[in-house]
Amino acid sequence: MTSQTEIAVSVTEAVQNALDYYEKKEEELIPILSKVNRELGFLPQEALEQISEKLKVPKSKVKSVASFYHMLSTKPLGRHVIKFCENAPCHVAGGGEIWSALKDATHLQAGETSPDGKWSLVTTSCLGLCAVGPVMVIDGDVYGNLTVDKVPEILGRYE
């Protein structure tokens, strides 16, 4: 069995799971996309097509919603996903410098994945941790009170 076949099966299963969980109507498009994104790590083209067909929502609309939201990705992500809060309280606490340090350290811009598949760098809206801003989350690990000096040390934990 090729990996492509395995992926095709899991895409169909992930879409079906989401459609079983939510009502099959356009108003549920975002939660359905979010659930499939969580299960597969991103939203493959095939998933978008299946969702479009089952919800009877035009493909162009499904694709534009999938591309619009930060928490959704239409491209495979790296093994480690850095989510950096870009909202004002974190920015005021020095987020701009941290963001530059992250871009320098990973050689990535927002939304990019490194060629070796190690890192994805994405921005996110408020994580509810403004009191310890600037904040980032890597693979579910939360890092607050970030300073430029801490960035290489933290990234080094994921070598």
Q: Does position 41 bind ligand FES by CB under 6 A?
A: no
Closest CA to 30 of 76, 61, 75: 61
Q: Is 138 in the site for ligand FES (CB under 6 A)?
A: no
CB of 84 vs ligand FES, minimal distance in Å: 9
Dihedral of the alpha carbons of 83, 88, 93, 99, in degrees to the nearest 10: 40
56: left (phi > 0), else alpha (psi -120 to 50), else beta?
Answer: left
Question: How far is the C-alpha of 151 from the C-alpha of 144, rounded, in Å?
Answer: 11
Nearer to ligand FES, 126 or 154 (CB): 126
Say how many C-beta atoms besides its own lie within 10 A of residue 113's C-beta: 21
Task: Considering the complex, state which of residue 121 and residue 127 has its C-beta at the smaller distance from ligand FES.
Answer: 127
Query: Checking DSSP bridges between strand 119-124 and strand 136-138, what pairing results, if any?
Result: unpaired
Give yes or no for residue 94 binding ligand FES (CB under 6 A): no
51-59, 71-79, 125-133, 145-153 -> range binding ligand FES (CB under 6 A): 125-133
- Segment near ligand FES (CB under 6 A); pick from 53-61, 70-78, 99-107, 128-136: 128-136
Footprint of ligand FES (CB under 6 A):
85, 87, 89-90, 126-127, 129-130, 133, 135
